[in-house]
Amino acid sequence: MANAERWLIVPDCHVPYHSEHAFGECLYAAKQLRPHGVVLLGDFADCYAVSSHDRDPSRKAKLADELAHVKAELAKVVKACGPQLASKHYLVGNHEHRLQRYLWTRAPELHGLVSYEAAVGLKASGWRVTDYGKMLRVGKMHFTHDLGKAGSGAAKQAMQDVQGNVVIGHTHRMEVYYAGNAKGEQHVGATLGWLGDPATIEYRPDLLVKRQWTHGWGTMDLYKNGNVRLHTHPLF
């Protein structure tokens, strides 16, 4: 790894409904890793206040409060990574995309004037933003929030769809699938878990055990020729 850049890969956090313990462990790992780059896989924010699903009125969520919390947690990520951090990538997930969908249906007149990226100040603070549904490539690794499949087998399906190395978020599971081809190339598809708090789940909490969600994150070694080596870090 001496000639490789080290990268931190952070899956869904759902701030402010993240697990303080799991997120804290990821930040501790970042301090030890001192990465060159970081990729947030999407759904870093929950955007509960603009969800189209039925909402618990007792939460009294305000979007401004949620986004202020997101800014604070983003700052913690950057601080933990250290001053050598040179590349910051933020993938927009379906939860951040809630704000765009809300504006489309409730306030189309504001289209183009209000955005999640601007509200959080992502670009102003040096984050490179990958829109929801788009793909980020770093060396020979692809990153996107999701490719339509959320359950078991999503990592394998993603690798087959991309026909190359790929890491996705969204599933909250940790799965890794390896495969080679006739050319002798080796590819990997992976999902890296999540860092959310299971106690805050509202949709069918009775099925939480069956969902096989796993706290964790990933790291990657990026070599000068673009080759990559992926590492998973489940939190038991």
What is the domain partition of the chain in residue ranges?
Answer: 4-234
pLDDT per residue as tens digits for the range 19-52: 999 999 999 999 999 999 999 999 999 999 888 7
Q: Facing residues of 233 across strands?
A: 217
Which of residues 119 and 209 earns the better pLDDT score?
Answer: 119
Mean pLDDT over 117-122 rounds to 94
- Checking if the pLDDT of 140 tops 70, the result is yes
pLDDT at 60: 62
pLDDT at 215: 97
The answer to whether residues 164 and 143 touch, using CB atoms and an 8 Å cutoff, is: no
- Checking if the pLDDT of 57 tops 60, the result is no
pLDDT per residue as tens digits for the range 169-198: 999 999 999 998 888 889 999 999 999 998
- Checking if the pLDDT of 202 tops 70, the result is no
pLDDT at 137: 98
Range with the poorest average pLDDT among 4-8, 36-40, 142-146, 181-185 = 181-185
**Which pTM was predicted?**
0.91
Which of residues 128 and 50 earns the better pLDDT score?
Answer: 128
Q: Facing residues of 179 across strands?
A: 187
CATH placement of domain 4-234 = 3.60.21.10
- How many Cα atoms within 13 Å fall on the side-chain side of residue 201? 18
The answer to whether residues 76 and 18 touch, using CB atoms and an 8 Å cutoff, is: no
The answer to whether residues 67 and 120 touch, using CB atoms and an 8 Å cutoff, is: yes
Cis peptide before 35 (omega within 30 of 0): no
Question: Helix 63-81 and helix 20-33: axis angle, to 10°?
Answer: 30
Alpha helices in the chain (DSSP H): 20-33, 63-81, 97-106, 116-120, 154-162
- Checking if the pLDDT of 93 tops 70, the result is yes
Mean pLDDT over 84-108 rounds to 89
